[in-house]
Amino acid sequence: MKRINIGIFGRVNSGKSTLMNLLTQHETSIVDSTPGTTADVKTTVMEIHELGPVKIFDTAGVDEQGVLGDKKKEKTFNALKRSDIVLLVINENNEAYSTDEFSTEKEIIDLAEKRGKELFIVYNKFSVIEAVKNDISAKIDPEKKFKSIELELAERSNYIYLIEFIKTNSKLQQIKTPLLPMLDRDKIVFLNIPIDEESPEGRFLRPQMMIEEYLVRRYVPTFAYRMDLGKARSIKSEEVAEEKKRFDGFIAHLNKDNKLQLLITDSQGMDIISRWTQDSNFMVTTFSIVMINFLSRGNLEMFVNGVKAFKQLKPGEKVMIAEGCNHDRKAEDIGTVQIPNKIDQLFGKGNIQVDHYFGRVFAGEEDLKDYKLVIHCGGCMLDQQAISSRIEDLIESGVSFTNYGVLLSYFEGKEALNKVIEPFGLKI
């Protein structure tokens, strides 16, 4: 089941952390009457029996002033972009309401609406009389667009009312993007896993694991193969021939009676695979393409369109390479070595500035505008919400984006690119 991200937002001291603790039924966040107690986004991953797997963000108050306040606000709004459900907490006792006309609340509501989030208002009751609440709600949500609940958040037994409220009112579509298109149970999927020197021993990488599990679960047989890329790319022709013979031998064996339906390769092996499978009658794609299609909820086409921006790069322009994790870098690392080298080779050394973003850090909307193109990895360590939030930021900033598998296939020619996107019903 897909994980739902629930973000908690509001002013300082409205009871956001108290709400977090109500949801988790635990002292997850520090609750204190000092304004600004929560300084950063606090994330908790858990299973709520009635809702399934959830990720909850407790955030800093949006109304804090000053430079530090601005930084906190940026982080809080980033969490909002990654939320599916936005819980806006209102402390009815807050005197600031009378002076600033709910500007903080309106800012939260505006961003949530712009990003298509589901928003609920949680009136933290403390112990205020009903009349006050009615007065406030008419100002915050005059059109009565949002469902709301009134609760004393500090009272732990109110948990059931809150969960029931979310369950009843959330129309969250469980959009299910399949990891792979429909495949045949009677035909084989060939997984080309070159395994780098630095790959951790004892397990496959996440995309490899996920795809293998996905297929086997659906009774689709797989064949895992380690190509020796060093030999396949060797300057010694006999080494290349030997490696090709081994590969061709397995392909011929598996493809007897056309039993091979798809080959999925690590993107960095696309230079070899595209040549060695040129006339194949089975489909070919890359792990990175499968992952980005899944994580972008089926929006692979946007990443394919981004290749156009690559073709049009001009000296002096900037490109960002973004990876979703901080793995060990090896000598022929795709993001830090292979793609930058290729860019130098195609556009002249140093003519295109290449910047890197690793892990959960991603450029803010302002910085994004400096880039002509963002080249993203498969993103396997990120979730669908994080990738969607990045895509929305990129679209808003007018920056094109593509993906490792798409770009490395494009380097091998239009035909190679068409081949790897064909399983997803795409063509350029």
Ligand X SMILES: Nc1nc2c(ncn2[C@@H]2O[C@H](COP(=O)(O)OP(=O)(O)OP(=O)(O)O)[C@@H](O)[C@H]2O)c(=O)[nH]1
Contact between 94 and 139 under an 8 Å Cβ cutoff? The reply is no
Supply the minimum distance, in Å, between the C-beta of residue 360 and ligand SF4: 10
Residues forming contacts to Mg ion in the complex (CB under 5 A) are 16-17, 37-38
Nearer to ligand X, 122 or 205 (CB): 122
Contact between 234 and 223 under an 8 Å Cβ cutoff? The reply is no
Q: With CB under 6 A as the rule, give the number of residues binding ligand SF4.
A: 11
Distance, in Å, from the CA atom of 18 to the CA atom of 41, rounded to the nearest integer, reads: 14
Of the candidates 105, 91, 102, the one whose C-alpha atom is nearest the C-alpha of residue 17 is 91
Determine which residue in the list 12, 136, 373, 381 makes contact with ligand SF4, applying CB under 6 A. 381
Determine which residue in the list 84, 105, 323, 412 makes contact with ligand SF4, applying CB under 6 A. 323
Parallel, antiparallel, or unpaired: how do β-strands 353-358 and 373-376 relate?
Answer: unpaired
Nearer to ligand SF4, 118 or 323 (CB): 323
Angle at 373 between CA 368 and CA 377, to 5 degrees: 95
Contact between 272 and 233 under an 8 Å Cβ cutoff? The reply is yes
Nearer to ligand X, 89 or 307 (CB): 89
Contact partner, 15, from ligand SF4, Mg ion, ligand X, none, Cβ < 5-8 Å per class: ligand X
What is the helix (H) or strand (E) element at residue 147, kind and residue range? Answer: strand 147-151
Nearer to ligand SF4, 132 or 337 (CB): 337
Phi/psi for 47 (5° steps) reads -110, 120
64 touches ligand SF4 by CB under 6 A? no
325 touches ligand SF4 by CB under 6 A? yes
How many helices (H) and strands (E) are present in the chain, helices listed first? 18, 14
User: HSE (CB half, 13 Å, CA atoms) of 101?
Assistant: 1
Contact partner, 14, from ligand SF4, ligand X, Mg ion, none, Cβ < 5-8 Å per class: ligand X
Nearer to ligand X, 16 or 390 (CB): 16
Contact partner, 35, from ligand SF4, ligand X, Mg ion, none, Cβ < 5-8 Å per class: ligand X
Sign for the CA dihedral angle at 307, 340, 333, 78 comes to negative
Nearer to ligand SF4, 125 or 327 (CB): 327
Determine which residue in the list 380, 387, 394, 421 makes contact with ligand SF4, applying CB under 6 A. 380
Determine which residue in the list 112, 368, 377, 406 makes contact with ligand SF4, applying CB under 6 A. 377
Phi/psi for 55 (5° steps) reads -120, 130
Query: What token pair was written down for 46?
Result: 């858990």
Backbone conformation region of residue 104, classed left if phi is above 0, alpha if psi is from -120 to 50, else beta: alpha
Nearer to ligand X, 94 or 267 (CB): 94
Determine which residue in the list 7, 10, 15, 324 makes contact with ligand SF4, applying CB under 6 A. 324
Q: Where do contacts with ligand SF4 occur on this chain (CB under 6 A)? A: 205-206, 323-325, 327, 377-381
